[in-house]
Structure 1
């Protein structure tokens, strides 16, 4: 079976975000199942695809809103309003439908699509209806947009997010209804998307790497707690604001918290132990240098890849209940609480008595379940191919 994996950003090997980590896990699982996968989409400027022999790059695009000029943002907004597309999808309309169709034809004969989230699929929906497809819902996007609207700081942002939510709800219903099978990254997202039946969908338990971590070296603790993430993504920003405003004030003054990743303007903390360190060269080394990992999601849907990575590494953690969505197993060294005061107390207790566990069993369990779920979707596409052939 040959499938085209249609995605907004093609893999470049960097795995710099949870979205890219999830994509790599899904593509690897498809290939383990014997599928020939050709990836089609855009690439970050200055990057090259990690698997050029099996990748079709449409163009280089910079789609991050953070850092874009005011003119650029207004241009995107105007184009979105005129076209009726979402803000996220309109950023990808730098090539025409005809150019995308021609690129698809260059891929040669294929059996169907994997439509990876709504951004690319929404931008080029008219092109992507000529084959059967499975749809990968990384999140319940319209729910995330509604939460973003509720947390927005201005009337314009609220209007924009509410508009996105309305359009995304209709789009998700359309893709889920037309898909031969739907993959979600969290169990509760199946019902939220209206595809709770096992005949219609399955949850993909993800991993952050093909092989389980093997490092048995003693950790050198450099700080009490460490967080890393793409904080410019609004659901992550909501969790960070909760942590800084609700949890951090209850930490002792000498409790050291390091926060890595791209930080939006205006984020700060008066706590003397909190430091913002920007980009770090080795994300795994960074988190392994912390006594405990705070898992702070309070918004969004889908799965938290940082939770999965923490469990794979066997690191002590304190998690909100939303941080565990899509994960059926919690190790003994993970404390769960949504109360900010209790969260702070648990962080301090874990840092004082850090206890690692072996995360390899968690990784094996996730990988086995991922491969089984992928097989269910491929069975649906295989049945369609046999019907067409007959």
Structure 2
């Protein structure tokens, strides 16, 4: 069974964002199911030569982050989106043309179907794959995330753009679900929101992030009281970070050491001088292990929070909002749930005073087993025969 995994960003072997980590977990599960997978999409700018698989077909190099783009690039994306009636996120994919994608597809030889990985690539090029049966992987309910971002927008133009995205995404997601033989989501709630809750139509993929580290009962060497890492350029993540900085930090004592890793805007470091903004870090696992406790601060978005899964796999103590636990069926004992800012701060203080690590291997193994089962069920329902059973 030969399937094309059509995605916006292809892996270079070192997944950095939650989206890339989720993709790696899904692709590994498909491989364990006995599928031959050809990955098609764009490489991160400057990393095209670092793709690790002969089965990966790179259409070009792209940095899809809006905040990293020049003014002229943003205007080009906007012009394409407006003139072609597509979302801003899909317009970024038009670095290649449909003819380029069709030519690339022809190089792969006989193909039995396509897996559309989220909406961005599909929104630009799904007509190229119109003759192939499809599976759709919904990482989030994108239209709802866009609606939430519109509500939190800091200006009229930003609000207008997010409202436009939400309207177009709602139609696009409905069409992708209707056309797909099967839909994978990352939470049960997303199955309901997308209208595919029937077991013959969809399944939830419980994700894994990393192989958990060997558990050690001894104390960790820490540099901070709390360590957060994320892709803060993504609007739903930024909503959570703003909530933490504006509403939780005032309830923490001056000496409480907080570090934030990831692509946070420069003005945040100037505004919140009590917080250490360390930018991109070479090893995300080592960074979060440098904090006594991990704040899981999601306040918006849909889909599962990969940072929550990573934290539980590592066995690290955490304080989580209810939103950060969406799609997670098991909460370890060293995770405290709090949505009120004052209660969240108090929980962080308690956890940092006496941090207790747990063995995350059982959580990881249960997630992986459930992931393999869900992948196999979806392939069966879609009519894609596998060569082997999952390991």
Q: What band does the TM-score fall into relative to the shorter chain?
A: over 0.9
For residues 41-87 of structure 1, the C-alpha deviation after alignment (integer angstroms, 9 at most, x for no partner) is 11112113433311111111222111212222112111110000100
- Rounded to whole Å, the distance in 1 between the matches of 2:318 and 2:53 is 38
The answer (yes or no) to whether the contact 1:144–1:299 under 8 Å persists in 2 is yes
The answer (yes or no) to whether the contact 1:292–1:316 under 8 Å persists in 2 is yes
The answer (yes or no) to whether the contact 2:177–2:196 under 8 Å persists in 1 is yes
Instruction: Tell me the residue number matched to 1:254.
Output: 255
The answer (yes or no) to whether the contact 2:45–2:62 under 8 Å persists in 1 is yes
Q: Report 1:208-227 matches (<5 A).
A: 208-209=209-210, 211-216=211-216, 218-227=219-228
- Rounded to whole Å, the distance in 2 between the matches of 1:341 and 1:99 is 54
The answer (yes or no) to whether the contact 2:215–2:358 under 8 Å persists in 1 is no
- Rounded to whole Å, the distance in 2 between the matches of 1:18 and 1:176 is 23
Q: What's the TM-score once normalised by structure 1's chain length?
A: 0.96
- What is the CA RMSD across the aligned residues, in angstroms? 1.4
The answer (yes or no) to whether the contact 2:379–2:385 under 8 Å persists in 1 is no
The answer (yes or no) to whether the contact 1:312–1:359 under 8 Å persists in 2 is yes
- Rounded to whole Å, the distance in 2 between the matches of 1:269 and 1:257 is 15
* Offset at residue 215 of structure 1 (A): 4.9
- Rounded to whole Å, the distance in 1 between the matches of 2:303 and 2:245 is 23
Instruction: Tell me the residue number matched to 1:314.
Output: 315
- Rounded to whole Å, the distance in 2 between the matches of 1:9 and 1:215 is 33
For residues 343-386 of structure 1, the C-alpha deviation after alignment (integer angstroms, 9 at most, x for no partner) is 0000000000101111100000100000000011110232699x
SS at match of 2:67: coil
Q: Report 1:66-105 matches (<5 A).
A: 66-105=67-106
| Unaligned 5+ runs, structure 1 | 386-390
The answer (yes or no) to whether the contact 2:226–2:293 under 8 Å persists in 1 is yes
| Unaligned 5+ runs, structure 2 | 387-391
For residues 175-231 of structure 1, the C-alpha deviation after alignment (integer angstroms, 9 at most, x for no partner) is 00110000001110000001011111000000002x332253641011100001111
Deviates more, 1:168-177 or 1:126-135: 126-135
For residues 105-164 of structure 1, the C-alpha deviation after alignment (integer angstroms, 9 at most, x for no partner) is 111112111100000001102112111111000000000000010000110000000000
- Rounded to whole Å, the distance in 2 between the matches of 1:272 and 1:251 is 14
* Offset at residue 272 of structure 1 (A): 5.7
SS at match of 1:66: helix
- Rounded to whole Å, the distance in 2 between the matches of 1:371 and 1:288 is 28
Deviates more, 1:350-359 or 1:71-80: 71-80
- Rounded to whole Å, the distance in 1 between the matches of 2:180 and 2:57 is 23
Q: When the two structures are aligned, how many residues end up with a matched partner?
A: 384
